[in-house]
């Protein structure tokens, strides 16, 4: 027995030593297996981003070390992340791609593309406006807190309050990078600074107990059953949150307000990326990054002009059939959109009717998907109203995917602040883009993928995701889910907006258009009101290239489908085409083209 004990201890020591050696090899050097490297690369990124872990719904409940923290946004962490990207690329390229199977080669290509674009973008790190009025941290952080931070227990509520107390640190870190950008001569346009000041002054111009960060906590605590939390605990948590908003959140915003108020008199121009140091190179990179293609700014502009003409001709036919023959396309669409019959009344009953109409359309879309798909999401989709505390600053409608761990369902949010913002003829298009067959279909299928590296289930490529959403709008029309010609006009109106984005974004940043030129062009062609167009154009100024992703992605997917039809003839199967496009997760369009070409070749052989 003693001899057996010695043997067992020796074996356990040997096993422990082997595990240590394997862990050291995997974490610090080139892992023995490529899939281990993928796991290491993603784990390293995720562990450095508490906000990512919360957004994905990972490690919640059983191993929660992150929910009371925010991301480190310091310049030191920025440099560390850039170093890690380069190190990961070097390690990835040590593996022999040609020795990999088809699936592993695809994972290799996706990660290689992503890392390459990040490395190329390092030269333009200072060109990003951290506090821009569209997606800046001053808006993104509160939105993260109210929409993604779960509050179902005392511990989650305390973590929420801990994060509120970190607002000053997060904003100070972002402001450090902003000041460095400004030292290099990179400034937001003057109108953007004015918008940011207006936003932040309004955001902090109310008592803490009336602030959305407080009301969000109050409402979520109220939803916790009485047997799980007593009133004294609720009151204590709310008092702590109120204090955090008054003593940490508001002073953090005051620091930003002071910075931009001092900066405003020194910034007099409203120019695009071309006016910044290395601006042309930056915009060329932004076009490649956001479209995941090799398109140039000139090609994007020419493509946009052609698409505006094509979509405009289709809209013209419908407008003529409706008896609307005078004025620009934009003016006639606005005339239709202003018809009282196109709107629910701005009353509690009207807003509820609008929400119920959206629910009916979502259900109808879901029932019809088998006509074009042989796969469907397992994840539950809910249709909810945007919470009242978020309505003023929220989008008209948007989709939030489910948490990876199932703790949070997928939700299609509808903003009920003003029913007049949503004409009835536009409702179907919104549903098809955001839910089925759009974002809910695509993102849920990606999350549910098995036997692939985890990073492929969550990695974002905007041109693929938004291109699919826009393709889904067109597909729904082809499936007969537009029973009224005005439904088709609603789709074309949105497609026209995405087509004009190609012209306007490249016009601003490449052809040196003014803000006024861009606004006038979109008003004339889209049917959107001037106020809505102005908000769109101002977004394009502060995030160059992003708006191109939608239409480029859609056209790429349509081009692949047409190519498959021509080459396969009677062998073409729409359901199988959709399965091939969706079943690999989000891809750079360059990579997706190769995937579909391989699929076509295999189908021809069979």
Phi, psi of 280 (to 5 degrees): -65, -40
Please compute, for residue 323, the number of CA atoms within 13 A of its CA located in the half-sphere on the CB side.
Answer: 1
Q: pTM (2 decimals)?
A: 0.89
Residues 465 and 443: beta-carbon distance below 8 Å: yes
List pLDDT tens digits, range 179-231: 999 999 999 999 999 999 999 999 999 999 999 999 999 999 999 999 999 99
List pLDDT tens digits, range 102-115: 999 999 999 999 99
* Per-residue pLDDT, 44: 86
Q: Which of 250-254, 295-299, 339-343, 498-502 has the lowest mean pLDDT?
A: 339-343
Mean pLDDT value of segment 90-118: 95
Per-residue pLDDT band at 46 (split at 50, 70, 90): confident
pLDDT for 275 beyond 70: yes
Residues 428 and 554: beta-carbon distance below 8 Å: no
* Per-residue pLDDT, 393: 66
Using a 10 angstrom Cβ sphere, with 0-12 exposed, 13-18 middle and 19 or more buried, the burial of residue 434 is buried
Compute the distance between CA of residue 110 and CA of residue 104 in angstroms, rounded to an integer: 10
pLDDT for 418 beyond 70: yes
* 3-class SS of residue 57: coil
Mean pLDDT value of segment 364-377: 96
* 3-class SS of residue 263: helix
- Interhelix angle 485-509/549-568, rounded to 10 degrees, is 120
CB atoms within 10 A of CB 94: 9
- The DSSP bridge partners found for residue 560 are none
Residues 203 and 139: beta-carbon distance below 8 Å: no
Q: Where are the domains of the chain?
A: 1-30, 280-553
Residues 310 and 231: beta-carbon distance below 8 Å: no
List pLDDT tens digits, range 141-176: 999 999 899 999 999 999 999 999 999 999 999 999
Cα dist from 256 to 142, 209, 245, 279, whole Å: 15, 22, 15, 26
- The DSSP bridge partners found for residue 397 are 414
Cα dist from 267 to 167, 170, 304, 341, whole Å: 27, 25, 31, 45
* 3-class SS of residue 410: strand
Phi, psi of 411 (to 5 degrees): -135, 130
Higher pLDDT, 20 or 80: 80
pLDDT for 575 beyond 50: yes
List pLDDT tens digits, range 541-574: 999 999 999 999 999 999 999 999 999 999 999 9
Compute the distance between CA of residue 131 and CA of residue 192 in angstroms, rounded to an integer: 9
- The DSSP bridge partners found for residue 357 are none
* Per-residue pLDDT, 32: 64
Helix (H) or strand (E) holding 384: strand 381-385
* 3-class SS of residue 546: helix
Percent of the chain with pLDDT over 70: 93
Q: Which two tokens stand for residue 294?
A: 């090799």
DSSP symbol at 387? P
DSSP code string of 175-188: HHHHHHHHHTT---
Nearest one of 10, 12, 35, 548 to 292, comparing CA atoms: 548
- The DSSP bridge partners found for residue 412 are 383, 399
Mean pLDDT of the chain: 92
* Per-residue pLDDT, 2: 52
Please compute, for residue 310, the number of CA atoms within 13 A of its CA located in the half-sphere on the CB side.
Answer: 10
Q: Which two tokens stand for residue 444?
A: 């849920």
């Amino acid at each position: 027995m003693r001899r057996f004990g010695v043997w067992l201890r020796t074996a356990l020591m040997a096993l422990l030593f082997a595990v240590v050696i394997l862990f050291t090899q995997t974490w610090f050097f080139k892992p023995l297996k490529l899939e281990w490297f993928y796991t290491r690369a993603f784990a390293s990124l995720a562990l450095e981003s508490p906000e990512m872990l919360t957004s994905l719904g990972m490690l919640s409940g059983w191993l929660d070390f992150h929910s009371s923290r925010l991301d480190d946004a310091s310049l030191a962490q920025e440099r560390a992340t850039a170093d890690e990207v380069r190190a990961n690329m070097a390690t990835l390229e040590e593996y022999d791609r040609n020795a990999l199977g088809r699936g592993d080669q695809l994972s290799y290509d996706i990660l290689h593309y992503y890392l390459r674009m990040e490395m190329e973008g390092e030269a333009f790190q200072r060109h990003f406006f951290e506090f821009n009025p569209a997606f800046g941290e001053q808006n993104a952080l509160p939105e993260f807190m109210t929409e993604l931070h779960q509050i179902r227990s005392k511990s989650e509520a305390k973590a929420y309050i801990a994060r509120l107390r970190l607002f000053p640190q997060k904003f100070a870190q972002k402001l450090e990078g902003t000041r460095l950008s400004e030292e290099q001569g990179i400034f937001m346009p003057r109108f953007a600074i004015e918008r940011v000041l207006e936003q932040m002054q309004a955001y902090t111009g109310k008592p803490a107990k009336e602030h959305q960060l407080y009301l969000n906590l109050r409402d979520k605590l109220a939803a916790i059953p009485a047997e799980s939390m007593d009133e004294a605990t609720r009151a204590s948590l709310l008092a702590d949150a109120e204090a955090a908003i008054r003593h940490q959140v508001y002073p953090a915003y005051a620091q930003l307000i002071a910075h931009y108020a001092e900066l405003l008199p020194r910034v007099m121009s409203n120019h695009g990326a071309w006016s910044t140091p290395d601006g042309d190179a930056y915009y060329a990179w932004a076009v490649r990054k956001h479209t995941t293609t090799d398109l140039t700014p000139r090609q994007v502009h020419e493509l946009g002009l052609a698409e505006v003409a094509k979509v405009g001709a289709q809209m013209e036919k419908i407008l003529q059939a409706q008896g609307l023959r005078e004025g620009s396309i934009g003016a006639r669409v606005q005339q239709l959109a202003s018809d009282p019959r196109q709107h629910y009344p701005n009353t509690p009953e009207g807003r509820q009717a609008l929400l119920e109409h959206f629910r009916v359309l979502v259900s109808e879309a879901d029932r019809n998907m088998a006509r074009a798909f042989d796969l469907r999401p397992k994840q539950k989709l809910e249709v909810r109203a945007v919470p009242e505390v978020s309505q003023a600053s929220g989008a008209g409608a948007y989709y939030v995917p489910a948490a990876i761990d199932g703790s949070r369902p997928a939700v299609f949010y509808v903003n009920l602040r003003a029913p007049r913002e949503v004409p009835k003829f536009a409702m179907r298009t919104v549903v098809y883009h955001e839910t089925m067959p759009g974002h809910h279909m695509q993102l849920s299928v990606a999350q549910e993928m098995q036997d692939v590296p985890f990073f492929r289930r969550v990695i974002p490529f905007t041109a693929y995701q938004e291109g699919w959403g826009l393709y889904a709008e067109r597909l729904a029309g082809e499936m007969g889910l537009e029973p009224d010609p005005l439904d088709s006009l609603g789709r074309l109106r949105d497609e026209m907006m995405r087509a004009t984005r190609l012209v306007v974004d490249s016009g601003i940043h490449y052809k040196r258009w003014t803000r006024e030129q861009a606004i006038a062009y979109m008003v004339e062609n889209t049917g959107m009101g001037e106020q809505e167009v102005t908000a769109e154009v101002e977004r394009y100024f502060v995030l160059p290239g992003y708006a191109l992703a939608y239409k480029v992605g859609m056209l790429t997917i349509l081009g692949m489908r047409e190519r498959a039809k021509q080459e396969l003839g009677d062998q073409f199967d729409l359901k199988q085409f959709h399965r091939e496009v969706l079943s690999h997760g989000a891809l750079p369009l360059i990579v997706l083209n190769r995937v579909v070409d391989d699929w076509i070749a295999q189908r021809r052989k069979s």
